[in-house]
Every structure is written in C-alpha cells, then in structure tokens.
Homo-oligomer: A and B are copies of this chain.
Amino acid sequence: MAKQVNVGVIGCGIVGRGTIETLLKNKETILQKSGISVNLVGIADIRIDNNDELLNGVAIKTTDAMELINNPEIDIIVELIGGYTHAKTFILAAIEQGKHVVTANKALLATHGKEIFNKAIEKGVQVAFEASVGGGIPIIKVLKEDLAANNIEEIDGIINGTANYILTRMIQEGKDYKDVLADAQKLGYAEADPTFDVQGIDSAHKLTLLSSIAFGTWVEFDKVYTEGITNISTVDIDFAKELDCTIKLLAIAKKRNGSIEVRVHPTMIPNRFQLAAVNDVFNAVQVKGDVVGTTLHYGRGAGGTPTSSAVVADIVNIARDIVSGCKERVPALGFAQAIESHYPIVNIDDTVSSFYMRFNVEDNPGVLSTIAGIMSLNNVSISSAIQRGKEGQDGLPLVFLTHNATGKQIRNAVDEIDKLPFIKDKTVVIRVEGLR
C-alpha cells in the first residue's frame, strides 16, 4: 500500500483554492510520481463555505486553523492566508507541534523569516516557500540545490507581475501610468490598493529571500533599496526605445568584494537582454553563477493555479523526505550555517551603475554646457546625450546617459542642477544596467 502523508491547508483565497484544486485533481499523478498518497485532510478559513463544491470530500472544514495545527494526523501545514499577524502565529504554532510548513508568504518571511527559520531548525522541521517567489517558476529549490556547485554572483529578476503588466502596456500602447493602472485594477491584475506591487515592496520582499539564499546570509528587508514605477512616464519610455532599451522593474542582488547590493528599482536594460522580452504578468529570474554562467528561469509569476504548482512541489518534497526517512536534507536557506546576516549591505549611494538622466530645461544657449560642467565637477562622465522635440510645459527634454557612477555622485549633481534657473521640472533619474 502506498505511504500516506496528510496535509492541512489554511486559507481559501486565490492560491489556497488553486492548491486545493491541484491536490485533489492531480492526486493520482502525484502518487504515480512519488509513490506517496498525499491526502488533503483539512481546510481552515475564517469564511469557510461548507457547501463549496471544491471542498467536497475534504474531511475537516473549519474556521479554526488551530484545529488543523493541533491535529496529530496532519504532517504538513500549508499557510496561504498571507499577511503578518495570524500567519506568523499559525506558522510558529505548527512548527512548535513538530509539523512541517509550506507557505507562499513572502511578506512575512522577508520581515520575520530569521525567527521562523531558526525556530524550524530548533524543532527539526522544514519551512518551504517555493511559491513565495516567481509563482510557479522553480527558483528557490534551483538556487538551493541545482546550482549548489556555484558561488552565486548576481540575480536579476522581474518578480512582480502587476508592475510588469503595467510597464508592458505603457510600453506597447504608449499609455500613461495612471490609465494603465486603472485598467489593470478593472481586469484584476492590480489590487484596489496597489502600493506593494507598484512601489516595489513586494519585489523587495522576494529579493530579500532570493538574495538570502544566493549569498548564504540573512538580508534585512529594511536594508533593501526600494523604488517603484509610479513616476515612470511615457516620455522616458520613448527615450528608452530610442536607445534600443526598455524599462523594467528589476530586483537586483550582487555580491562584490564581500559586500552585497540589494535593490529594486525601475531599470533601463538593452532590448537584446532576455529579460527585456519578459512581458505582461510573466516573471523571470536570471542567475549568474561562477560555474554555470547565466541561467534564466521564466514562467507565470502569479495566479492561483500556476502558484499551486510550487506549493504542491514543496508538499511533495517534504512528503518524500518524511517517507524516505531523511532529516535536514537541505538547510532552510540552502546554507548549513546559523541564519545570521553575514555580509554588509552596500548603501544605494555607493552602488555603481550607469544612469539615464532627463533634464527639463528652457531652450537657452549654454544650458547643455552648464549641466555637463556640473556633471564633470561631480566626476560623472557622459556617454551620450539626446536632445529632441519641442519645449513643452515642463521644458525641453535633454537626456544624458552616463558612464559608471555612484548613486551619490548622481544625487549630488542632480541637487545642484535642479537649482539652476533654466531647469523647469525635477530631473528624472533611472538606473541603467548592461549598456556597453
């Protein structure tokens, strides 16, 4: 007879329902693959509907998550309610009961992960979170196991589907941010309060987890530089096109001389980059390892059904460990060391890249040379300049691309330039990666 592993799911939202559906629909497939009967024995949700057809045949339906957590028959608790307070309580309680945990909760793990992972290590159970980054794309386990031979040098990810959807439509249709956001909200691609997605916070949560695994450190979420897409305008998108580039909300983690950079911001990248072709709600994570070189992992970054692929993969992994009797096979963050912050994080002022700068100037003689002079005084060298179009309300756009400079050099230059009398509107600054 097949071995049994019992699962309880907390949360009947989008990912919860996707997970329940996949566990039920593909139970036979999972059994064929793993030789294990993965049984969904219980579901908890504060608004559980006992007449919900999806939940037919599930033995326990409860509004009390603790009923699952305290059930001795259940081996794995799946937390899919999201948020901080209750999710944390349930996860810690499940760990305390010696149960393994599967979660998609990046916000909680990014902010309270150290405590949760350390508790899990203490109790000898797993906290798996493949679904927390990149939806159904296998990336957490890929970093922890498949690329274990590598020192990871860099990660560049498009890991927020909403922001990518909005930018894609702005680029393809030439529409304003606000119009596309409103439309995305109507279509269900953006939430009523889109802050987490459009301000880069969700990407920063995910980057916290990716970079922690990549570099074997605990990255403090509040040290991740985070800048959203709300100020991206069609003018800058058009200039990007002229430069054979596109603008993406990138989550970037780099290791350099024993320090690490972790930053989320709109980034201009060349169209020849694979990441430039990742459109709509799709996600992709590009990884650079010292042995493998560059790999890219692409797929649907959101949605209940795609994400359930990752949730259930975690469940099957843990079920395999339970049945084959192995403990602590792979450490929580992929490194067999205490979960601590091992590396300093570079302040955004000290990170180096090239920059796109758009000045809004009056069309006077001497403007270009004055600005270029200030750039030069701040030791920023210009790789190219574009001036086109006519002077509008906000002035005439003058675009510079710089060679490598620090965030601080650019900030200082902009502070000075924005005080000049012929500057009609705040200078726009967008970081650039990968221009030769």
Query: Which A residues lie at the B interface, using CB under 8 A?
Result: 22, 26, 29-35, 130, 136-138, 141-142, 144-151, 216, 274, 277, 289-300, 305-306, 308-313, 316-317, 320-321, 324-331, 334-337
Task: Across the interface, name the chain B residue whose C-beta is closest to A311.
Answer: B149
Give 10 closest A-B pairs by Cβ, nearest first.
A326-B326, A35-B336, A138-B146, A149-B312, A295-B299, A292-B309, A136-B292, A324-B326, A296-B298, A324-B329
Instruction: Select which of B149, B151, B292, B331 is within 8 A of A300 by beta carbon.
Output: B292
User: Nearest Cβ in chain B — how far from A131, in angstroms?
Assistant: 11
User: Nearest Cβ in chain B — how far from A112, in angstroms?
Assistant: 24
Q: Can you show 17 pairs from A to B with CB atoms below 8 A apart?
A: A26-B151, A32-B216, A32-B335, A32-B337, A33-B144, A33-B216, A33-B334, A33-B336, A142-B142, A145-B316, A148-B312, A149-B312, A292-B300, A296-B298, A298-B298, A320-B330, A324-B328
User: Nearest Cβ in chain B — how far from A138, in angstroms?
Assistant: 3
Q: How far is the CA of A86 from the CA of B350 in the complex (A)?
A: 56
Note all chain B residues with C-beta closer than 8 A to A321.
326, 329
B150 and A34 within 8 A (CB): no
Task: Across the interface, name the chain B residue whose C-beta is closest to A308.
Answer: B291
Q: How far is the CA of A324 from the CA of B324 in the complex (A)?
A: 10
Q: How far is the CA of A146 from the CA of B298 in the complex (A)?
A: 14
A336 and B34 within 8 A (CB): yes
Note all chain B residues with C-beta closer than 8 A to A306.
291-293
Note all chain B residues with C-beta closer than 8 A to A309.
147, 149-150, 289, 291-292
* Sample of 18 more A-B contacts, CB < 8 Å, known A29-B149, A296-B297: A29-B150, A32-B216, A33-B216, A136-B293, A142-B146, A145-B313, A145-B316, A146-B310, A148-B317, A274-B298, A289-B309, A291-B308, A292-B300, A292-B306, A293-B305, A296-B298, A326-B329, A329-B329
Note all chain B residues with C-beta closer than 8 A to A35.
331, 336
A148 and B33 within 8 A (CB): yes
A295 and B138 within 8 A (CB): yes
User: Nearest Cβ in chain B — how far from A109, in angstroms?
Assistant: 19
Task: Across the interface, name the chain B residue whose C-beta is closest to A134.
Answer: B295
A291 and B277 within 8 A (CB): no
Note all chain B residues with C-beta closer than 8 A to A328.
324
Q: How far is the CA of A329 from the CA of B351 in the complex (A)?
A: 44
Q: How far is the CA of A147 from the CA of B298 in the complex (A)?
A: 13
- Known contacts A274-B277, A296-B299; is A313 also within 8 Å of B147 by CB? yes
User: Nearest Cβ in chain B — how far from A67, in angstroms?
Assistant: 26
Q: How far is the CA of A329 from the CA of B316 in the complex (A)?
A: 11
* Residue among A31, A34, A327 with most chain B CB within 10 A: A34
A149 and B299 within 8 A (CB): no
Note all chain B residues with C-beta closer than 8 A to A305.
291-293
- Known contacts A146-B142, A295-B136, A313-B148; is A26 also within 8 Å of B336 by CB? no
User: Nearest Cβ in chain B — how far from A55, in angstroms?
Assistant: 19
- Known contacts A22-B291, A299-B294; is A147 also within 8 Å of B151 by CB? no
B295 and A297 within 8 A (CB): yes
User: Nearest Cβ in chain B — how far from A279, in angstroms?
Assistant: 10
Q: How far is the CA of A142 from the CA of B142 in the complex (A)?
A: 8
Q: How far is the CA of A210 from the CA of B160 in the complex (A)?
A: 30
Task: Across the interface, name the chain B residue whose C-beta is closest to A315.
Answer: B149
